[in-house]
Each structure stands twice: as C-alpha cells, then as structure tokens.
Amino acid sequence: MTTFMPGLISKRVLFLIGLVCAAPIFNNSAALESKAREAKNSLGNDLFERTNVVRLSISVPPAGLRALERASWGDRGQNSRPEAKATITEGTTVYKDVAIHLKGSAGSFRQINDKPGLTLNFDKYMPKQTFHGLEKLSLNNSVQDSTFIEEKICREMFEAAGVPVPRSDYALVTLNGQKLGLYVLVEGYNKQFLRRYFKNTGGNLYDGGFCREITENLNVNSGDKPNDRTDLRRLASAAAAARQNNSLTELSQVLDLDRFLTMVAMEVIQCHWDGYSMNRNNYRVYHDLESGKMIFMPHGLDQMFGTGDRGSPASPILPQMNGFVASAVLGTAEGRSRYLQRLAELRTNVFNVEAITNRVRQLEERIRPYISENTYSRRRSSVASLCDNIVARAENLDRQLGDPPKPAAFVNGIVRLTGWREHDVNGAGNFDISSSKDGKKLLHVTASGQTSASSWRTRLLLTSGRYIFEGYSRTRGAGSGSESGATLRISGTRRGAVLNGDSQWTMLSFPFEVPEASRDIELICELKGASGEAWFDTTSLKVRRAE
C-alpha cells in the first residue's frame, strides 16, 4: 500500500492494486481494455479534481416546491420521497428537467425551506443529459459537520485504502434566488460509479437505508435483476455459519473479505460510529458478478474522528460490532486476527497524520471565501478541533495496538468490573464517583432536566457463552415507567429491569449471550429520563457465567 498523498492518492493506489491483481494474466489485450476503462472512468474528473467551487443555480416551479414540502426524513424506499423537475444553471450551461428530491436521514434531513440536502438525477427525464459526464449527484448540506471537510478527506482515505467510494467536492448553491451557501457535492451511487471499480456492473447495488440490516428488504439502487435477492440471503446464511462455526471458509466464498476487513478497519480508524460496522447505517452493498462476491462500501462520512455528539478519538479498536456481517467476521478467531493486522497496516500506510492534517488545512483555505463571516470564527474552531482529534486518534490507536484487548479473566466464574467511564449525550447528565457510609465507591449520575440517557460504561472481551451482568443500584426521584429510571444492560440491547422513584439498594441483573467465538461487550449502568439520580455500587458490579 502507499502513503496518503492528497490529490494523487486515488489513481495511484487503484493502479497499484489493479496491477498486483492482474499481474499473472497481464497482456496487450488486457492493457488495451484497461486504457478503455480508464477513459470511461475519467468522467467527472474535472468536477472532483478542480481547485475552485462549482456554482449551481436551481430553479423549481411552485408546483414542484409544494411537492417537495411534503417530504419527510421518515419516508421509506428509494421512490417514496416526493420529486420535482428543476432547471439547473452552471455559468452559461442550462440543464432542464432535472429530477430533484430531498435527501438525508434523522440527523441531516432539512425541509425545502431550510437548507435541504438534495439528490439530482440529470438523465431521468432527459436521456443522455449529464453534468460533467455524470448522471447523478448529491448535494450534502453538511449540517452535522461544520468544517465541510470530513466527508472529503475520509472518502480520500477510504479510496487510498482500496475501498470503493464515490468522490466528493464542493458547490455553492442557490435555490429559486435564495442563497443556500456551501454544499458538499458527492458522486451518485449508480452504474457510472460502479464502472470505475468493476468490469461487470450488472449486479445488484443495495442501499442500506436508515439503520437497516442485510437481512431486511433493502432497496436496490441499480442492477439487472433487482427482484432477485438470493445474493443477500447467501451472505446472511454464510455470516450466520461463521458465527456458529468460528470459521470464515463459507463466508469467504460470498464476501470480499479483504475489502470488508479494510472497510471495517477504516471505519474504526475514523471513529465512524454511524457506519455499517457499529450502527448498521450509512452503507451500500454491491454484488460483483465477476468475482461472485459481495462488497460493502461506506456512506454518510460527516461525523468523523469523534467530532459529533457521539464517538471519541479514544474509541476502542475493538468496538461492539452491531452490523451482522461485521459481528460475524470479527467474532471468529481468524477474522479478529486479520482485522487487527489490517488495522495496523492502515495506520502505517494510510493514516499519515501530517499529510491528512495538511490536507484539512488546504481544503479550509480553499473553501474559506465561501463561508459567511458570522460563521467563520466558529467554523475555524471546528477545523482546529478536527485536526486535534486526528492527532489524538493516531496516538490512541498506537497505544491500543501496542496492548490489544485480551479475553476477560474469570475467577470462580466471575469477573469484577473496573475502568468505568462517563457517557453523556448533549450534556444531559452530571457524573461523579461518591462514597457510601461504609466506604464503597459508587458511580453516581444525576439527570440535568433534559430527557436523555446518561450512563457509566466499561468493556469486556468475552468468549462464546451465556452471562449475567449484575450489581446493586438505588435511585432518588427517578422518573416512572420502563423508559425512565436506572437499569443495567449491554450496548445494542433494550433495557432490563428498572428502578424508579425513590428506591433502596436493589440487585439488578441483565442476562445476555455471546454467540460468536469472541466479542467485545460494552456494559452500561444507565439513568434515563429528565429527572432523578442513581447510584451503582462498584464493588458489586460484575459479570458471571450463567449456569
């Protein structure tokens, strides 16, 4: 692999990867085919490798605006959001009858009268109409990334690592005369995109949607047989077999394991908590008919390196994998070993801190003229924080790679829990460690009046088996009902038994199972609701093997 070099990285890395793969059969015919593909793949290069910012003026007639006003982030299905026809002008070039609809999910969706994210299809109603050779583009409003930079640098890092990913750049957008400001311009997921990476683009390209798993009825963005989902069923079956048998043999026949492990490792490096691996979100899956294997690709790279409300530069290198396939792969001894090896390789060969922070500052200077003065000061602080987090992430990765997690050591079937840390969302809780009258250390959390879940958390690496997480807790003034009060649970599960109101010391327990050969489990002592406080006795908190 090669070191991250802004601007030159994608072509060079893809060329090297392709050359290594093709070396045994490389001949003049293959060389000619490669040149032909390179010409096709040059579409949009002038758009994504420029140094200025494209300016787009979008005009939507009143009837179209009324249709777009009905859009909601909860709309399901690729054709469920209202669509309108727009006229788009770039300089002296006019594009007519461009299909436009609102994009975004729970965090990024905005109404048409705000700063909406938009998807543009240039050829849907005007065959062969393209924008700089491209048929489909997205305009991301970047409301979850005030730097406007994370999406671009993280995509460049994925491509440097050899993971297929759409390109991105910038656009200054006006809608019906109203200046909406700067947007992140992103290449669409379609056959044009696939052609840059795959010779055969007839396979199904699945959209993971909002927190949906491969076992669900995913939408198909493109594919010659969109109603044939046997490829997803084979993937799910093979992943289940890997979990059960602690073997990747069957899964390796239907999944591109090298690319998958690389994607998972890159998501962990970038603290992409909202991706497939950790949240079953923001991803695509393509069935490469030539290899017969499924290939995962990342999406929604706008809360990276711990800059959002969730995630941290100190995120563990073995986080809880909530994606079914990610959990299956890393749940095997071979998968975990290969993943840690790939993580270390990418830390060395792609995660070049100096080059990446320089790239951040380069992009900051480039888009600075398009940021309004009243937001520039806050944004400049965000860019500085992003660079600080990138540096901190590299340092933290080095520490963790130097001492990777080891399976929990049980004594008489019990492991006592230590290493508790605070986990807060939107400043909704106040934390401290207090002492009981008999000198026991107590994890204490107080709700701040804002409805949320605040918790103390720690982690264990556990092998296959059944377990019980238990300990004593008491509450004062905690809200009523199952969705309020204090509880014990593990990450990715619903709440167990709950303490409400004013309660005395009570033993809480939460049974759970680890189906994989090994799994990193996050254990949670939680207070949920807008009022009250809870205490958890550290001397009693433990995990024991179930009989």
User: How many residues appear in the chain?
Assistant: 547
Q: Are 120 and 136 in contact (CB under 8 A)?
A: yes
Which residue, among 116, 166, 111, has the nearest Cα to 142 in the 3D structure? 116
Q: Which residues pair with 487 in a beta bridge?
A: 526
Dmax over Cα atoms in the chain, in whole Å? Answer: 82
Cα 509 to chain centroid distance, Å, stands at: 32
Task: With a cut of 50, say whether residue 375 has pLDDT above it.
Answer: yes
pLDDT value, residue 360: 96
Q: Which residues pair with 536 in a beta bridge?
A: 443, 473
pLDDT value, residue 79: 54
Q: Taking the domain 414-545, which CATH number applies?
A: 2.60.120.260
- Residue 310 tokens read as 């969730």
Residue 115 DSSP class: -
Task: With a cut of 90, say whether residue 202 has pLDDT above it.
Answer: yes
Q: Are 487 and 526 in contact (CB under 8 A)?
A: yes
| Mean pLDDT of all residues belonging to the chain | 88
pLDDT value, residue 22: 29
How many other CB atoms sit within 10 Å of the CB of residue 538? 20
Cα 188 to chain centroid distance, Å, stands at: 17
Q: Are 294 and 254 in contact (CB under 8 A)?
A: yes
In terms of average pLDDT, the best of 44-48, 61-65, 429-433 is 61-65
pLDDT value, residue 373: 58
pLDDT value, residue 209: 87
Higher pLDDT, 5 or 468: 468
- Residue 147 tokens read as 């730097």
pLDDT tens-digit profile of 517-543?
888 899 999 999 888 999 999 999 999
- Give 377's pLDDT tier (boundaries 50, 70, 90): low
Q: Is 16 helix (H, G, I), strand (E, B) or coil?
A: helix
Q: Label the pairing between strands 178-187 and 219-222.
A: unpaired
pLDDT tens-digit profile of 126-183?
999 999 999 999 999 998 999 999 999 999 999 999 999 999 999 999 999 999 999 9
Task: With a cut of 50, say whether residue 39 has pLDDT above it.
Answer: no
pLDDT value, residue 18: 35
- Give 35's pLDDT tier (boundaries 50, 70, 90): very low
Which residue, among 279, 264, 320, 310, has the nearest Cα to 459 in the 3D structure? 320
Report the distance separating Cα 60 and Cα 101, nearest Å.
11
In terms of average pLDDT, the best of 152-166, 419-433, 436-450 is 152-166
CATH 2.60.120.260 region(s) of the chain?
414-545
Report the distance separating Cα 340 and Cα 369, nearest Å.
42
Continuous H helices in 42-187: 45-48, 62-69, 150-161
Cα 307 to chain centroid distance, Å, stands at: 13
Q: Are 508 and 320 in contact (CB under 8 A)?
A: no
- Give 489's pLDDT tier (boundaries 50, 70, 90): very high
Rg (CA), the chain: 25
pLDDT value, residue 52: 83
Q: Are 100 and 173 in contact (CB under 8 A)?
A: no
pLDDT average, residue stretch 363-379: 79
Q: Label the pairing between strands 168-175 and 54-59.
A: parallel
pLDDT average, residue stretch 2-6: 40
Number of H helices, E strands in the chain: 13, 20
Residue 522's contacts (CB-CB under 8 Å, 6 or more residues apart) are: 319, 320, 457, 458, 459, 490, 491
pLDDT average, residue stretch 418-446: 85
pLDDT average, residue stretch 116-121: 96
Phi, psi of 13 (to 5 degrees): -65, -45
pLDDT tens-digit profile of 262-305?
999 999 999 999 999 999 999 999 999 999 999 999 999 999 99
Q: Are 44 and 137 in contact (CB under 8 A)?
A: no
Which residue, among 207, 224, 245, 244, has the nearest Cα to 81 in the 3D structure? 207
pLDDT value, residue 381: 85
pLDDT tens-digit profile of 244-268?
999 999 999 999 999 999 999 999 9
Residue 335's contacts (CB-CB under 8 Å, 6 or more residues apart) are: 242, 248, 257, 261, 328, 329
pLDDT value, residue 76: 53
pLDDT average, residue stretch 318-324: 91
Q: Are 501 and 480 in contact (CB under 8 A)?
A: yes
Report the distance separating Cα 244 and Cα 293, nearest Å.
21
Give kind and range of the element (H or E) at residue 501: strand 501-529
pLDDT value, residue 428: 64
Task: With a cut of 90, say whether residue 61 has pLDDT above it.
Answer: yes
